[in-house]
Amino acid sequence: MRRLLLSVALLLAGLGFASAQMAPVPQPGPGQAAAVFAGGCFWCTESDFDHVAGVISTTSGYTGGKVANPTYEQVSGGGTGHAESVLVIYDPSKVSYQQLLTYYWHSVDPTVQNRQFCDGGNQYRTAIFVGNDEERKLAEASKKEVEAELKKPIYTQIAAAGPFYAAEEYHQDFYLKNPTKYKFYRWNCGRDQRLEQIWGTHKGNS
């Protein structure tokens, strides 16, 4: 499913695509750093990282694909190679990249390929987009630790960061702008229920 179908129908009807302009892509300021994660639905990934102490901002977008300036319709339809992703700007003096990785793993189901929860397709794959050799080293080490912990194959991709395209403005902070529709989608998609099965009591936020 491109997303939980009933939820999509309700969302599109309510939004009317009145705000289809793309959001700006923020850049880290002095003393700040950036990380990019794909964890399925970017509304959920954005919400989860917004609750991490030391995270300054989150931006929903698209990366890892072959089409410049993709739209939500293109990405969600499949075929562009992009993953729904989130750009995380953070303060390394308050939260390390290693800590972000730990939080990331506990907010996704890394044991499935090209899907997350109720959403199927490689646009909903899990992925860590690394910006340098140190990030790759940490990401690969953490992946091995997760595989040993879960005792299952881990399908999360670790790839070099490429162009990141911010999603349309109406996707940004969706969980704050449309809390009822967001909670309806997240619950019916079974995200937190599945996370609890994998990781025990989920320490993230919905």
Start-to-end CA span in the chain (Å): 21
Q: Where are the alpha helices (DSSP H) in 54-178?
A: 72-76, 97-105, 133-150, 174-177
Residues annotated as part of the active site: 41
Tell how strand 157-160 and strand 126-130 pair up: parallel
Q: Exposed (0-12), middle (13-18) or buried (19+): which is 137, by Cβ within 10 Å?
A: exposed
Tell which residue, 151, 76, 154, 83, has the closest CA to residue 113.
154
Query: 60 and 152 in contact (C-beta within 8 Å)?
Result: no
Query: 86 and 50 in contact (C-beta within 8 Å)?
Result: no
CA 101 to chain centre: 12
